[in-house]
Chain A
Amino acid sequence: MANWIPLWLHKLSSPPVFYRFAGTLRPWAIALALVLGLVALYGGLVLAPPDYQQGDDYRIIFIHVPCAWMSLFIYALMGIAAFIALVWRIKLAEVVAMASAPIGAAFTFITLVTGSLWGERMWGTWWTWDARLTSELVLLFLYLGVIALYHSFEDRRQGARTAAFLALIGIVNVPIVHFSVNWWNTLHQGSTIRLLGPSTIAPSMIWPLLTMMIATKCYYVASLFGRARADLLALESGKDWVRQIAEGEVRR
């Protein structure tokens, strides 16, 4: 492998370099998220036909499923960052792991609420202690646990490492959520979109879903960068580069 890649990564893990890098990329990420999100909403709410069994109620899918994917994706990413933070003690990995937790919690919360709104009409209940729903709720508690543990320490870095440990243990829940619909007999339907083999969903419904998935990914990048920048400023507030930024904003 070309050796400029690890070199570039090493450089990027320095807080001032990452701060600038994230600041440049963040507006593009949020712009892309907004454009793709609007396209996906138009496709999902206007262009896609009503479902032959669920009528228009199924349109909740266009936010429910992308948010559910994000809740797992962000947890996996938080787990990887937590692992790097614990093994190599890289400050930026701690920041990324801790900044991911609230975003993941937000997506998990949206998944649960939208699923509940959907379930009320389709299953006749807001909530049931079904394997998929319960494991997703556990995911929310894991996120909240990571956030609470992080904030319960006076020393931010010590808090981050302790919370990273919890995040790492909790990663066993990710495959449980994903495979719960296959492992247990659940009320929740199985997946209709498959990477291998044909999906069992109409193309007019699948493209807004996939577009929204990319939009939520872009949103995550933008939100993560915003949180990481604020955290880096707070963590490094004694350093020269942060002082320069603070003074620069006065003059502006």
Chain B
Amino acid sequence: MSGSLQSFFAMGGYAAYVWPAYGVFFVVLLIDWLAPQWRQRRVLRELRGRLARQEARKERPHRNSAAST
């Protein structure tokens, strides 16, 4: 079993070409998969921050107007 597994990883002497090819395939697609997820989280976080600031401004209108004048 270990012998056949070894020959599988050896790829008939082409391991240095086959495995990097598959590595590039998985790494590039993984980055492509994660990038929009990070972006979505960032967009929502920024939006929540903006909503929270709006909310805070609504709750303390006097102090805000005093500070701005």
Instruction: Tell me the A residues contacting B by CB distance below 8 Å.
Output: 30, 45-46, 50, 55-57, 59-60, 63-64, 67, 99, 102-103, 106, 109-110, 113-114, 117-118, 120-121, 219, 222-223, 226-227, 229-230, 233-234, 237, 242-243, 245-247, 249-250
Contacts and interface: CB of A to CB of B under 8 A. Distances in A.
B interface, size bucket: 20 to 34
Contacts of B20: 117
A249 B18 CA distance: 43
Interface SS majority for chain B? helix
Contacts of A242: 47
Nearest to B50: A237
A223 B36 contact: yes
Contact of A110 (B28, B35, B36, B37): B28
Given A103-B32, A246-B44, A50 B12 contact: yes
Contacts of B51: 243, 246-247
B47 to A, nearest CB: 4
Contacts of A227: 36
Given A117-B20, A230-B43, A219 B11 contact: no
Nearest to B32: A106
Contacts of A246: 44, 47-48, 51
Interface of B: 8, 11-14, 17-18, 20-22, 24-25, 28-29, 31-33, 35-37, 39-40, 43-44, 46-48, 50-51
A21 to B, nearest CB: 16
Contacts of B31: 106
Given A57-B18, A237-B47, A114 B12 contact: no
B25 A57 contact: no
A226 B37 CA distance: 7
A106 B12 CA distance: 29
Nearest to B41: A230
